[in-house]
C-alpha cells in the first residue's frame, strides 16, 4: 500500500492517496546511499510495502562485517506467477521460514521477482550488513539474494530478474570486493560442505550449491553466474 504526498505552495497541505491491493507500484527511487564504490541504492520495495508480518519475527536483527560475498538462491516457486502476487508469495515464504524452518525471520536479505522488482527480505535495514539465514556456515559477511522462481533444466532466466540481481549485488558488495574474484570465508558450522572452522575459497558471487549440498539456485541460473559477475563488475566501474 503506497501513499503519495502533494505539498501546495499556498500552505502546507498534505493529501494522502491510499492505493489498495497487494500489487506494488513502481518503487519510489530513494536518495542515493553509497555502499559500493559510488553505486547508488536501487529501488527496493520495503517490508512495510509488501506487508511483512513483523509480529512473527522472533529476534532482533544481528549485523556482521562489510559484505564480502553474495550467495544466489532460487525460491522454488512456479515461474508463471503474476508479479502482482509477489508480496503475497513473500508473506507465505516468511511464514514458512519461521514456522517450518525455525528461523527468526525470512532467511534471504533480498528477493527479486521475474519483473525485476527488488524486495527487502530479512529485517534490519537494507543499507546495513544484516546477518541472514540463507547459506549455512557462511551467513557472516555475506548476503543472500533469492530469485523468485525455479531455474532447473528447461527454465529461462528473465532479463529483468537478472538485472535486478546485478543491481543489488553491485550496491551491497564492499568497495574493495572484486565481483569476478574469490574470497576466503570460514565455515561457522558443520552443516555445509565445509567443517566448522574450515576455510573455503569461494567466488565473491556464488551459487548456494558452492557451499552447500543442494541444486540451488538451479542449473540454468547457476550457468548465468559468470555473466552476472561481469555485469556487476561493469556496473561498479561506471
**What's the confidence (pLDDT) of residue 104?**
93
* Cell (9 digits) for 32: 542515493
**What's the confidence (pLDDT) of residue 39?**
85
Below-50 pLDDT ranges, the chain: 1-36
* Cell (9 digits) for 111: 528477493
DSSP per-residue letters across 105-166 = S-S-SEEE-TT--EEE-SSS-TTS-B--SSSTT--TTEEEEEESS--STT----HHHHHHHH
**What's the confidence (pLDDT) of residue 37?**
53
> Environment class of residue 193 by beta-carbon count within 10 Å: exposed (0-12), middle (13-18) or buried (19+)?
middle
Give yes or no for a contact between 138 and 199, defined as CB atoms under 8 angstroms apart.
Answer: no
**What's the confidence (pLDDT) of residue 143?**
97
Amino acid at each position: 500500500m503506497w501513499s503519495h504526498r502533494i505539498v501546495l505552495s499556498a500552505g502546507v497541505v498534505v493529501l494522502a492517496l491510499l492505493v489498495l491491493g497487494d500489487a506494488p507500484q513502481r518503487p519510489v527511487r530513494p536518495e542515493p546511499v553509497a555502499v559500493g564504490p559510488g553505486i547508488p541504492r536501487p529501488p527496493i520495495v520495503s517490508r512495510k510495502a509488501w506487508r511483512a508480518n513483523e509480529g512473527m519475527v522472533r529476534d532482533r536483527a544481528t549485523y556482521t562485517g562489510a559484505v564480502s560475498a553474495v550467495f544466489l538462491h532460487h525460491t522454488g516457486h512456479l515461474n508463471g506467477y503474476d508479479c502482482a502476487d509477489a508480496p503475497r508469495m513473500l508473506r507465505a515464504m516468511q511464514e514458512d521460514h519461521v514456522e517450518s524452518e525455525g528461523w527468526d525471520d525470512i532467511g534471504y536479505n533480498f528477493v527479486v521477482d521475474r519483473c525485476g522488482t527488488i524486495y527487502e527480505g530479512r529485517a534490519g535495514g537494507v543499507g546495513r550488513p544484516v546477518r541472514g539465514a540463507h547459506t549455512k556456515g557462511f551467513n557472516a559477511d555475506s548476503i543472500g539474494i533469492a530469485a523468485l522462481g525455479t531455474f532447473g533444466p528447461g527454465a529461462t532466466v528473465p532479463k529483468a530478474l537478472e538485472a535486478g540481481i546485478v543491481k543489488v549485488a553491485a550496491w551491497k558488495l564492499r568497495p574493495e570486493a572484486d565481483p569476478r574474484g574469490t574470497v576466503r570465508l570460514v565455515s561457522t558450522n558443520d552443516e555445509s560442505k565445509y567443517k566448522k572452522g574450515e576455510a573455503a575459497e569461494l567466488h565473491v558471487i556464488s551459487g548456494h550449491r558452492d557451499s552447500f549440498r543442494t541444486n540451488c539456485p538451479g542449473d540454468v541460473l547457476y550457468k548465468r553466474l559468470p555473466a552476472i559477475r561481469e555485469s556487476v563488475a561493469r556496473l561498479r566501474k561506471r
